[in-house]
Amino acid sequence: MKEYDAIIIGTGQAGPSLAKRLAASGMNVAIIERKLFGGTCVNTGCTPTKALVASAYAARMVSRAAEFGVMVDSPARVDMKRVKARMEAIVSPSTKGVERSLRNAERCTVYHDHARFVSPREVAVGKEVLSAGRIFINVGGRALVPDMPGLDQVDYLTNSSLLRSDVLPRHLIIVGGSYIGLEFAQIYRRFGSDVTVIEMSPRLVSREDEDVSASVHDILQAEGINIRLNAKCLTVARRGNDITANVECTEGAPEVVGSHLLLAVGRRPNTDDLGLEKASVTTDDKGFIKVDDQLRTNVPGIWALGDCNGKGAFTHTSWNDFEIVAANLLDKDERRASDRIPAYGLYIDPPLGRVGLSEAQVRKSGRPALIATLAMEDVGRAFEKSETQGFMKVLVDQETKQILGAAILGTGGDEVIHCLLELIYARAPYTVMQRAVHIHPTVSEFLPTMLGELRPLS
């Protein structure tokens, strides 16, 4: 039995930083990773997908080059081996960097194996048992494989296996029309695959407002992505070398035939093989570990951070979990998860930046509110770049004049949204922004313009 002051399970976005902070404060820390250092974001999530988004953008701009007066004389070709090599050259230093920084940290011991609780204070790693008074779980999640008829007869891909491949699918069928599925859809369409997205809801990204879903739909459809909605009774089957998806839709062909199948229907937490029952840590019915506002589980001395606690599904929320735990334990600063303002991006091109409440949520709340929208066609910078798809929308509390939420679907939307995020966090009225002189020509300079056109949300 080896004794430590703290054990951290998983090297996602929270674990490594927490390990280094705790070790720097004088604690002896063990950190355990069963697979790839850096976890999902670095290896099979944000970093590789955004590297591919960049390659796909390059392909798109080459295909549009003549619009900009740039003549490309021979047909452009996407070399998937080079695309993948570029992606790996971006991912690999991050993976290695996380491992190196942990191994080099004083008072920090790294274990590379699967961890499993054997009691509330003990964790088995390979043949060893480690014990500590404080245990932090940062085990993340993996692709959810649905209970879909026929799936056992076909080879299917998840985000992880698709990212390992350097083959360009002839026809990629994607089950799931939400954030992960849509990013892959546009990436592979731009590389040259035929792509069909199959979604069981009546619209894409169904957690967003209807106007956002409709605009995302138009953007993807305009690039030749085939979209099938209301696919409630989806089954799949093998036909020769192909995969058929039987789609029960109200319209369109009943069957889609493709060469590859990607599942992008959600994520499940890596808590089923962690021995949580030995530690009496409770989860909800989907396996997410139940935590309080300071990310403490029901068992004193055990915390859960990142995707596995169900309070966030993003790199920045997991990182914020680290900040919350470190602040409470080391800084006497009672930070809480409920202080966090929901914010995220959807990295299709143009991207969607989102913060705070949606229009539907504001309507449901019944509070008196104001709304303004602006088409990206009316934004000078977007026009100059010939990237005019999308729109912006902002919602404001009528009484306090504070911003309640916003969506920016358009060029630079993932960056521009931060102007609004800061105002919300500062609880400042929107009129503050109208006094700040924004830089021309930018997308951000049109935020005060849009705020000048607020009208009651009827």
Residue nearest to ligand FAD (CB): 140
Residues 338-377: x where in contact with ligand FAD by CB under 6 A, - otherwise, as a string: ---------x------------------------------
Query: 9 or 22, CB closer to ligand FAD?
Result: 9
The span of 31-39, 78-86, 359-367, 439-447 binding ligand FAD (CB under 6 A) equals 31-39
Strands 455-456 and 369-375 come out as antiparallel
- Determine the Cα–Cα distance for residues 198 and 210; give it in Å rounded to an integer: 18
Structural contact between residues 108 and 102, judged by C-beta atoms closer than 8 angstroms = yes
Q: What is each CA distance from 265 to 97, 215, 262, 378, 393, in whole angstroms? A: 31, 21, 9, 35, 27
Residues 274-303: x where in contact with ligand FAD by CB under 6 A, - otherwise, as a string: x-----------------------------
**Least distance CB 12 / ligand FAD (angstroms):** 2
Structural contact between residues 4 and 32, judged by C-beta atoms closer than 8 angstroms = no
CA angle 267, 273, 274 (to 5 degrees): 105
Residues 243-272: x where in contact with ligand FAD by CB under 6 A, - otherwise, as a string: ---------------------------x--
Residue type for 348, please? I
In the chain, what's the furthest Cα-to-Cα distance? 69
Residues 85-104: x where in contact with ligand FAD by CB under 6 A, - otherwise, as a string: --------------------
Rule CB under 6 A: choose which of 8, 29, 30, 32 binds ligand FAD: 32
Neighbours of 361 (CB within 10 A): 14
Query: 95 or 244, CB closer to ligand FAD?
Result: 95
Task: Work out whether 180 is an interface residue with ligand FAD (CB under 6 A).
Answer: yes
Q: Which long-range contacts (CB under 8 A, 24 or more apart) does 421-425 make?
A: 421/341, 421/343, 421/355, 421/356, 424/341, 424/355, 424/356, 425/341
Residues 181-240 that bind ligand FAD (CB under 6 A): none
Task: Work out whether 114 is an interface residue with ligand FAD (CB under 6 A).
Answer: yes
**Least distance CB 298 / ligand FAD (angstroms):** 19
**Least distance CB 261 / ligand FAD (angstroms):** 16
Rule CB under 6 A: choose which of 176, 258, 306, 350 binds ligand FAD: 306
Rule CB under 6 A: choose which of 5, 25, 28, 36 binds ligand FAD: 36
**Least distance CB 240 / ligand FAD (angstroms):** 30
Task: Work out whether 178 is an interface residue with ligand FAD (CB under 6 A).
Answer: no
Omega within 30 of 0 (cis) for the link into 441:
yes
Task: Work out whether 136 is an interface residue with ligand FAD (CB under 6 A).
Answer: no
Task: Work out whether 109 is an interface residue with ligand FAD (CB under 6 A).
Answer: no
CA angle 94, 158, 90 (to 5 degrees): 20
Q: Contact positions toward ligand FAD, by CB under 6 A?
A: 9-14, 32-36, 39-41, 44-46, 49, 114-115, 138-141, 159, 180, 270, 274, 306-308, 313-316, 318, 347
